[in-house]
Structure 1
Amino acid sequence: MSEYVRNAWYMAAWAEEVPQGGFLARKLLDKPWLIWREGDGRWVMVADRCPHRFVPLSMGRFADGRITCGYHGLTFDGSGACIHNPFGNPLPATARLGICPVVEAHGGLWFWPGDPAMADPALVPDFSFIDAGPPVGRSRYVMEVNYELIADNLLDLSHAEFLHVESFGTNGSLFSHGNQTVETDATGAIWNKWDTAGAPPPGWSMPLVGEGQTVDQSLHMRWHAPANLALFIRMARAGTGGQDLIIPPIANPHILTPETQGSTHYFFTHEPGPEAEALARRVFLEEDEPMISAQAAAMGETDFWDMRPLVLASDAGAIRARRRLMQMRRAETGGK
């Protein structure tokens, strides 16, 4: 598996996942971490491993921004420093925890696992649309596959014609009347854009559109490295230049953060209520995940490029994103 890109923002959690007055324990990029909010409102992220005998600090006691190891009582604060040694003797400089810069933005907590001096909050991808519209539910699940395979899937929306026929199908319009473009914007984001014309997706024919009517639909997926994606959907009556919208524009985050090389935290939003969350989980867990899991099993430990994949025109966005990650890895490792 490829090494992680380090000098980039990843999402660790929705801020609401962290219990008030407590901490959240989560594995991110193969390492266990603790996240909590200090009394002054700052967020901190420290390694969930005592440097003494390496047990998880999450098994210990937490109070007032201090975590005490449940094994031998060493206590650490949010800076990673050991502030109490019950045995009294001086401790070496190694008696501290690893830390990561973490900031709150768009309802999420974002961490920078690379050079802290490069952790500019202005580089957090723009997901401001999450709070700009009506209230949404925020959810997460763990998909048991590598994050790049999930990003490939999201950057190739043509799979919806086959895998999401009932839930998200486009009635063949991607192939019969679809136009695909791949662009890079000023922020470095890669856009994979499908613009189509044809019959509306299943369930939309009546009463919003009218029997036999056609629609113009845009499906635009935005990718920020390493794997922070957003899908923007517009649907308008055909022939109106995209102005006579049938429904308000839709924007959905699809934010991926590796848990391990073989599992991924998938952060998403949905309309409030359990039914909407269940529909989203159906699409991701019952339709997408089995197929991507089968793909991962077929690849085994072989690198994606070593598999010599057949590349189709619809893969343009995913291939460009993979190449961007390769460039970023080479920059961080000095070309190795």
Structure 2
Amino acid sequence: MKYVRNCWYMVGWKEDFPAGEIKPFTLLEESVVLFRNADGKLVALADRCCHRLAPLSVGRLESDGLRCMYHGLKFADDGRCIEVPGQDRISPLLRVPTYPVVELHGAAWIWMGDPAKADECLIPPFVGHIHPDWSMIPGRMDYDAHYRLINDNLLDLSHLTYVHGAPDSFAAEEQWVGAKVSVQRLERGVRVSRWIEGTPGLDGNGGKRDLWTSYDFLVPGIFLLRGDTYPLGTAEKFNRQEPDSSVEPLRKTLSCQAVTPLTEFTSCYFFAFGPWSKEPDKKELFLKIAQQAFSEDKVIVEAQQRTILRSPGVRVIPLAADQAIVQFNKLLEQMMEEEARVASAPVEVHSAAG
């Protein structure tokens, strides 16, 4: 299997799905169509009519369903065909697959696996741009690269030194490469933490500071980064362990990012990055920083993908800095293996005689 299916994938921000519009989206190499029903609830169907496989994304929204504009079949929110022009009887076979979809944290999430296992509690704590504690502007970026290469890029932030290592950057070599990193295994991901000592800060003002960074990287590819800036010397005060509430941060920042595989070598990258709500005037600055940094990531990751495709059979050689990558990928492989095992298990059939 190429993907974990029993998990929630982000397919857009809430505002990406206005009422009255049909939105096609491809993920895990499958085409889906999303729209709001008459009650405003988001619905997700397979993007193909079950009659002649015409795409429903070029259909027409009506008050009680989505009509295919090839031969006029209409489908309800649950995928049932509820009208066949010129035919009274509707076969129960006339239906299209549906997918659980939930709006939470200002984003839309879809479950591509077993619908019976679609537990909303498994949606990561993706504190979106609508949260009152933060000042964020959301964004999206598309990659011509395998989703796991983007995951790897986010799981090892030592790349900041070189990918984003301009002379005036906050990502100085001695700070990101030399910092001691703590990697903790979580039930559905990993947590990576470190102090960055003596940083000038993201906006370059206020002299040298200490930065506590900690991020959770969760299945299927959700990156939740906390960055708290403190007076110089705070890292030493806490013996380079996680700070407690006895010292007030000078600034807090948060970044919520989601990697969604589209096809084998294309991916979608959603992001929101910003400071706490005390600095609403800094939203544009942080968006600019994010766009520059993520564009730099895109260049190196897409170049990496091209090299990989030209180098069949060549294996990567891990480094000590790859600890989080190795742990997360092992978890991902275990989940895919378990799903494959369940999918291939024989189905028990019981006779009427018992």
The two structures share one fold, judged by TM-score above 0.5: yes
Among 280, 283, 293, the alignment partner of 1:283 is 293
Which residue number corresponds to residue 245 of structure 1?
249
Partner of 2:127: 128
- Match runs of 1:31-70 below 5 Å: 31-70=30-69
CA distance in 2, matches of 1:302, 1:74: 48
The reply on whether 1:264 has 2:293 as its aligned counterpart is: no
Matches within 5 A, 1:65-80: 65-80=64-79
Hey, what does 1:218 align to over in structure 2? Answer: 212
Counterpart of 1:311 in structure 2 is: 318
Q: Which of 171, 174, 177 is residue 176 of structure 2 equivalent to?
A: 174
Match of 2:153, SS state, is helix
Q: Give the direction of change, closer, same or farther, for the CA distance of 1:191–1:302 in structure 2 (3 Å limit).
A: farther
Q: CA deviation at 1:68?
A: 1.2
Of all paired residues, the percent bearing the same amino acid is: 31
Counterpart position of 1:5: 4
Note if contact 2:83-2:90 (Cα within 8 Å) is conserved in structure 1: no
Q: Secondary structure at the match of 1:179?
A: coil
Instruction: Determine helix, strand or coil for the equivalent of 1:151.
Output: helix
Verify the 8 A CA contact 1:7 1:112 in the aligned structure 2: yes
Q: How far off its partner does 1:32 sit?
A: 1.4
The one-character-per-residue Cα deviations of 1:112-165 (angstroms, maximum 9, x if unpaired) are 111111111111111236414234222222111111100100111000000112
Alpha-carbon separation, structure 2, partners of 1:172 and 1:201: 15
Which residues of structure 1 form unaligned runs of 5+?
none
- After TM superposition, give the deviation of residue 277 of structure 1 in Å: 3.8
TM-score, normalised relative to structure 2: 0.84
- Distance apart, 1:239 and its partner CA: 2.0
- How many residues in Structure 1 have an aligned counterpart in Structure 2? 323
Mean Cα deviation higher: 24-33 or 164-173: 164-173
- Asked if the contact 2:5–2:113 (Cα under 8 Å) also holds between the matched residues in 1, the reply is yes
| CA distance in structure 2 between the aligned counterparts of 1:44 and 1:301, rounded to whole angstroms | 40
Q: Distance in 2 between matches of 1:302 and 1:95?
A: 46
- Displacement of 1:218 after TM fit? 2.1
Call closer, same or farther: CA 1:333–1:223 in 2, change over 3 Å: same
What is the DSSP-based 3-state SS (H/G/I as helix, E as strand, rest coil) of the residue aligned with 1:172?
A: helix
Report the equivalent of 1:296.
305
- 1:171–1:202 Cα contact (<8 Å) kept: no
Match in the other structure for 2:164: 164
C-alpha contact (below 8 Å) 1:171/1:201 kept by paired residues = no
Contact persistence 2:180–2:195 (CA under 8 A):
yes
**Are 1:169 and 1:201, in contact at CA under 8 Å, matched by a contact in 2?**
no
- Give the C-alpha shift of residue 215 in structure 1: 2.6
Structure 1: 4+ residue segments shifted above 6 A = 272-275
Quick check: 127-136 or 145-154, which moved more?
A: 127-136
Question: Which residue is equivalent to 1:327?
Answer: 334
Q: TM-score, normalised by structure 1?
A: 0.88
* Whole-angstrom distance in 2 between the partners of 1:35 and 1:274: 30
Q: Which amino acid aligns with 1:262?
A: F
